[in-house]
Amino acid sequence: MITISQTLKAIDESSYEEVVSQCIERIKNNKLNTFITIAEESALEIAKNINSSKNHLQPLAGVPVAIKDNISTKGIQTTCASNILTGYVPPYDAHVIERLKEAGAIIVGKANMDEFAMGTSTETSHYGPALNPWNTDHVSGGSSGGSAATVAAGEVSVALGSDTGGSVRCPASFCGVVGLKPTYGIISRYGLISYANSLEQIGPIATNVKDMTLLFNVITGYDSRDSTSVQIEKDYTESLVNDVNGLIIGVPDEYFGEGTEPAVEKAVWDGVHTLEGLGASWKKVKMPHTRYALAAYYIIAMSEASSNLARFDGMRYGLRLTKDHDWHTTYSEIRAKGFGEEVKRRVLLGTYALSAGYMDKYYLKALKVRTLVKQDFDLALKDTDVLIAPTMPAPAFKLGEKISDPLTLYLADVNTVPINLAGVPSISLPCGFDNGLPIGLQIIGRHFDEETVLRVAYTFEQNTDFHTITPEVR
Amino acid sequence: MIEEYLKYRPLLDDTGIMIGLEIHVQLNKLNTKIFCGCGLDYHNDPPNTHTCPVCLGLPGSLPVINRKAVEYSIKLGLALNCSIQEHTQFYRKNYYYPDLPKGFQITQYDFPLASNGYINIEGENGEVRIRINRAHMEEDPGRLVHEGGNIEHSKHTMIDYNRSGVALLEIVTEPDLRSPKEARRFLDKLRSIIEYLDVCNTSLEGATRVDANISLAGGSRSEIKNISSHKGAERALLFEVVRQKNLLRRGGKVVLETRHFNEEMGITVSLRTKEEEHDYRYFPEADLVPIKVADWAPGIAKTLPELPDAKRERFVSQYGISDDHAKSLTSEKRLAEFYEEVAAHVNPKMAAVWTADVLKGELNYRDIGITAFKSEDMVKLLKLVADDKITDSSGNQIIRTVLDEGGSPDSIVESEGLLKAGGDIIGTAVDEAINENPQAVTDYQNGKQEAVNFLIGQVMKKTRGRSDAKAVREMIIEKFKGIM
């Protein structure tokens, strides 16, 4: 694994171009399938000219960065890992891409993911799964699997993912890296191709808390093009303080439920005790509505997806078949061929949940549950500073193990989805290993209190060495 | 439900016509579209030149509300006597159609911006209050374009997204209208209010679009789509009355369906029945946060201009003109302004007659607007009439000439020689006529009154019509008195 400072040092010792071209070589030579599109030409071009622009003075000057393929990049194909967007080249940059470019970062390519971010393993990608660098028989997690795997494999130091129900934290946990799902509204979604727009946020992924914070600093901030964007300007590097003295950690029993691997449970409790040893205290908290969160999440996410994905009809961009018919037939043919099985399942179920006669029973009820889940967090965080829980109930599962059983696969998201329903921030970072596979712990905070979450994460990292262990990529 | 409506307003007769309207008003006086910064001045530009990722619905784009569009909508809502929602929210209406780039339309559902209003119109039996159920904001879809302008003969459908994302206010009435004529009057009144508010240029293509719901006693309702003019609305509804009446008379069934108005042929044709209707799956648009509009309304209410009904009442009391004249003069904002400009300089009653009866008639006859005639020209003209310099019929002639050939009243008076002949010229002409026609004098002395008319005719001939016939008559009778 490599860090931003190692990358900057390498630039000093060689050149921008050399660092970018080495990065691209690493991506090309691995067998992890971490990227869908490698932006070799444009990346090298930018590296060549970076000295003549003012960008070489910026914090991420020349740092190669991987972008999840559902974030719009001007001039670089953006597919959401779906056949239906084959050949779609956005004519505009997402807000976060504008910010990254201003900060001098170089986009080396578009990272593999589950199709339209619908999955927990990248196995629903039209381009095949991204493999886990710790063990290529295992999944990298999802949906931002490519982003986490490329960071874990040492291809790039930082990457962007998106988190709708755990899509940053799950792969961060499975790949042994650090990932943040920020508070809803803190990063502009402008240019993020929606799966479930009331739940998702773009999130940074890195090998350590400091790098992740640097990246987060660059991409946060108000954007008038996203109505849900909030006006907060902070320097989050100020939160990188090695001190948890006096902080109160809440531990919800509900997050150690049935299906939690003993090794995971132990590693997370060890983490809590580590922080206790550093001056924090902990107490159990009750989050009684957690058990309903998964069902509510899937109903809301699928309902929104059924509408968000309606625009993909092949008329103006993306997949087009050789023969056109009347518009009904053409739309149907393109959508039948363009969407994968999981996407179709969610669009159909979401359509059903919003239909007349079923809406009250499913969608509206799910919204009520969402309010209750949010209340759980408000109450639990009233007299605690952060909550700590396992990110995933188990380490990365094997390729093919769950993909044919959607319900089992959905159950893996049980600890990540409540955070999205509530809109609160959560970091996943490595806290142990089981059979050579990383275990992730998540630190959850109050709305817009990324500072405390980062502080706890930084302190934990400074006092443990899990983040220094690097996979031997096979 | 129907009973409730009938309790509010009974049917007119056995035919039992009930009509409700849905009117889409484009807020085309805004500078930009409802959710993006694209301009609205696209009417003379090539297709797809006023677009961006947002109104093209490109993946990843997000809507941001145009606050001015909300203001305009509140303004219109208040003018329709609606109450304004505390918080207003947008929803997604999900359906597929090629003109809809996102596969859903952002509109309102629960919590429409404005609701429970009314406007007054001249009904079949006097003034009647037509209730407005709601007025809600939404985005306009793109426009389908067919080669040769005809869907039947075009090989392809092309899509122009210049219109995509233009702000619309959809106004929905209760089924309180009882005849096609009332429907047209409602639309005329609504247009006049919209123009007063200056939120929409109603003369632009597609600026207002009407869907009409109509049912007759004993039948279901049909919804007529694609009506683009007020005249079209009346025609479409008249056609539906006849069609439904005939169907019912033959023992047929009027089914719940959507029909398409073919403006060219003046008929409606079935588009789809209710069973084929979409389930739009309305749900909240999470990309737009609810807006607390209740706070906006009082401030906007203060900016409301004087509306047609209030202006009409003021005209009657301020200028002492008849209610009919006031109604006619306030039907259009520009006409009312014209009248007030004229009434400031000449007798207001005279101004009302000449504007509402004479000028408006000539404008209607030519199907042109009030802008074709300048108010200062009307002032000049009426001063000439008032000062007895020209006759009424010359005044009429001047108006027609200005409208048809241009020019100013002064120049027309000059070139046409319309100035009333002076007293001495008439006197000479009267003397000449009497001297040249001794027989007429004799006839008059013998009691034949017609002889005077004959002599008036002679005087008119001599003065080429510039004399006032009444004045000439008096002069002749005066002369006779002298002779006898």
Span A85-131, pLDDT tens digits: 999 999 999 999 999 999 999 999 999 999 999 999 999 999 999 99
pLDDT mean across residues, chain A: 96
pLDDT of residue B449: 81
Identify whether A167 is a catalytic site residue.
yes
Report phi then psi at B447, rounded to 5: 95, 5
Q: Which of A358, A359, A89, A453 has the alpha carbon at shortest distance from B53?
A: A89
Identify whether A5 is a catalytic site residue.
no
Model confidence at B426: pLDDT above 90: no
pLDDT of residue B1: 72
Interface confidence (ipTM) of the complex: 0.95
Q: Answer whether A190 sits within 8 Å of B287, measured CB to CB.
A: no
Q: Answer whether B283 sits within 8 Å of A354, measured CB to CB.
A: yes
Side-chain-side CA neighbours of B458 within 13 Å: the count stands at: 20
Asked if B105 contacts B81 with a C-beta cutoff of 8 angstroms, the reply is no
Residues of chain A with C-beta less than 8 angstroms from the C-beta of B279: 355-356
Residue A57 touches chain B, beta carbons under 8 Å:
no
Rg (CA), chain A: 21
Model confidence at A474: pLDDT above 60: no
Q: Which of A72, A38, A82 has the alpha carbon at shortest distance from A318?
A: A82
Q: Answer whether A359 sits within 8 Å of B98, measured CB to CB.
A: no
Q: Which of A307, B315, A279, B373 has the alpha carbon at shortest distance from B382?
A: B373
| Secondary structure element (H or E) that encloses residue B145, with its range | strand B143-146
Q: Answer whether A355 sits within 8 Å of B59, measured CB to CB.
A: no
Model confidence at B432: pLDDT above 90: no
For the stretch A246-289, pLDDT in tens is 999 999 999 999 899 999 999 999 999 999 999 999 999 999 99
Q: Answer whether A228 sits within 8 Å of B63, measured CB to CB.
A: no
Residue of A98, A225, A304, A315 to mutate, interface with B, max B Cβ within 10 Å: A225
CA distance A457 to A443: 7
Residues of chain B with C-beta less than 8 angstroms from the C-beta of A116: none
Delimit the domains of chain B by residue range.
2-301, 308-416, 423-483
From chain B residues 258-317, the ones with a CB under 8 A of any chain A CB are 279, 281, 283, 286-289
Strand partners, A283: A250
Model confidence at A74: pLDDT above 80: yes
Task: From residue B340, give the alpha-carbon distance in Å to each of A87, B190, B376.
Answer: 63, 22, 11
Residue A231 touches chain B, beta carbons under 8 Å:
no
CA distance B294 to chain A (A): 20
From chain A residues 308-327, the ones with a CB under 8 A of any chain B CB are 309-313, 315-317, 327
Q: Which of A221, A206, A205, A214 has the alpha carbon at shortest distance from A237?
A: A214
Residue of B nearest to A306 (CA): B94
Residues of chain B with C-beta less than 8 angstroms from the C-beta of A316: 56, 101
> What single-letter DSSP state applies at residue B63?
-
- State both tokens at B56: 């093209």
Residues of chain B with C-beta less than 8 angstroms from the C-beta of A303: 283
Of all residues in chain A, the percent with pLDDT exceeding 90 is: 93
For the stretch B34-80, pLDDT in tens is 999 999 999 999 999 999 999 999 999 999 999 999 999 999 999 99
pLDDT of residue B456: 87
pLDDT of residue A436: 96
CA distance A456 to A280: 9
Strand partners, A430: A440
CA distance A52 to chain B (A): 31
Residue of B nearest to A79 (CA): B59
Average pLDDT of span B457-464: 82
pLDDT of residue B233: 95
Q: Which of B64, B102, B283 sits opposite A363 (nearest CB)?
A: B283
Q: Answer whether A225 sits within 8 Å of B102, measured CB to CB.
A: no
The residue annotated as part of the active site, out of A82, A121, A167, A173, is: A167
CA distance A215 to A233: 14
Residue of B nearest to A192 (CA): B60
Single-letter residue type at B108:
Q
For the stretch B290-331, pLDDT in tens is 999 999 999 999 999 999 999 999 999 999 999 999 999 999
Q: Which of B145, B235, B184, B143 has the alpha carbon at shortest distance from B23?
A: B184
pLDDT of residue B421: 66
Q: Read out DSSP for B294-355? A: TTTHHHHHHTPPPPHHHHHHHHHHHH---HHHHHHHHSSHHHHHHHHHHHTTS-HHHHHIII
Residues of chain A with C-beta less than 8 angstroms from the C-beta of B88: none
For the stretch A136-172, pLDDT in tens is 999 999 999 999 999 999 999 999 999 999 999 999 9
The residue annotated as part of the active site, out of A21, A68, A239, A402, is: A68
Q: What sign results for the dihedral spanned by CA atoms A33, A39, A40, A43?
A: negative
Residue B4 touches chain A, beta carbons under 8 Å:
no
pLDDT of residue B428: 79
pLDDT band at B276 (very low <50, low <70, confident <90, very high): low
Side-chain-side CA neighbours of A5 within 13 Å: the count stands at: 4
Asked if A354 contacts B278 with a C-beta cutoff of 8 angstroms, the reply is no
Residue A455 touches chain B, beta carbons under 8 Å:
no
Residue B464 touches chain A, beta carbons under 8 Å:
no
Asked if A143 contacts A98 with a C-beta cutoff of 8 angstroms, the reply is no
Instruction: Identify the top-confidence range among A313-327, B104-118, B257-271, B450-464.
Output: B104-118
Contacts with A198 (C-beta within 8 Å, 6 or more apart), sequence order: A184, A300, A304, B286
Q: Look up the CATH number of domain B423-483.
A: 1.10.10.410
Q: Answer whether B281 sits within 8 Å of A316, measured CB to CB.
A: no
Residues of chain A with C-beta less than 8 angstroms from the C-beta of B155: none
Q: Which of A85, A309, A354 sits opposite B281 (nearest CB)?
A: A354
For the stretch B88-132, pLDDT in tens is 999 999 999 999 999 999 999 999 999 999 999 999 889 999 999
Delimit the domains of chain A by residue range.
4-244+390-468
Contacts with B387 (C-beta within 8 Å, 6 or more apart), sequence order: none
For the stretch B174-224, pLDDT in tens is 999 999 999 999 999 999 999 999 999 998 988 999 999 999 998 899 999
* A–B CB contacts, 8 A cutoff, strictly below: 93
Q: Answer whether A310 sits within 8 Å of B157, measured CB to CB.
A: no
Domain A4-244+390-468 has CATH 1.20.59.20: no
Identify whether A143 is a catalytic site residue.
yes
CA distance B178 to A178: 69
For the stretch A210-249, pLDDT in tens is 999 999 999 999 999 999 999 998 999 999 999 999 999 9
pLDDT mean across residues, chain B: 91
Contacts with A466 (C-beta within 8 Å, 6 or more apart), sequence order: A176, A429, A430, A431, A432, A433, A438
Residues of chain A with C-beta less than 8 angstroms from the C-beta of B58: 72, 90-92, 317
Q: Answer whether B56 sits within 8 Å of A316, measured CB to CB.
A: yes
Average pLDDT of span A190-218: 98
Pairing type for strands A426-434 and A437-444 reads antiparallel
For the stretch B72-83, pLDDT in tens is 999 999 999 999
Task: From residue B47, give the alpha-carbon distance in Å to each of B42, B63, B145, B159.
Answer: 8, 22, 10, 8
Residue of B nearest to A80 (CA): B59
Instruction: Identify the top-confidence range among A394-398, B425-429, B480-484.
Output: A394-398
Q: Answer whether A71 sits within 8 Å of B98, measured CB to CB.
A: no
Residue A77 touches chain B, beta carbons under 8 Å:
no
CA distance B336 to B345: 15
pLDDT of residue B479: 79
Residue of B nearest to A354 (CA): B281
CA distance B291 to B112: 11
B206: left (phi over 0), alpha (psi -120 to 50) or beta: left
From chain A residues 278-307, the ones with a CB under 8 A of any chain B CB are 303-304, 306-307
pLDDT of residue B275: 67
Asked if B444 contacts B433 with a C-beta cutoff of 8 angstroms, the reply is no
Cα A189 from chain centroid (whole Å)? 13
CA distance B305 to A415: 58
Q: Read out DSSP for A248-273? A: EEEEEGGGG-TT--HHHHHHHHHHHH
Of all residues in chain B, the percent with pLDDT exceeding 90 is: 69
Task: From residue A116, give the alpha-carbon distance in Å to each of A187, A367, B54.
Answer: 19, 23, 20
pLDDT of residue B423: 59
Contacts with B138 (C-beta within 8 Å, 6 or more apart), sequence order: B34, B93, B105, B106, B107, B108, B168, B170
Q: Answer whether A327 sits within 8 Å of B98, measured CB to CB.
A: yes
Q: Which of A304, A311, A363 sits opposite B57 (nearest CB)?
A: A311
For the stretch B336-353, pLDDT in tens is 999 999 999 999 999 999
- State both tokens at A357: 């006669």
3-state secondary structure of A231: coil
Of all residues in chain A, the percent with pLDDT exceeding 70 is: 99
Residue B57 touches chain A, beta carbons under 8 Å:
yes
Asked if B214 contacts B202 with a C-beta cutoff of 8 angstroms, the reply is no
> What single-letter DSSP state applies at residue B408?
-
CA distance A27 to chain B (A): 27
Q: Answer whether A227 sits within 8 Å of B102, measured CB to CB.
A: no
Name the residue with higher pLDDT: A252 or A30. Answer: A252
pLDDT band at A51 (very low <50, low <70, confident <90, very high): confident
Pairing type for strands A201-206 and A178-181 reads antiparallel
Q: Read out DSSP for B153-167? A: T-S-EEEETTSTT-E
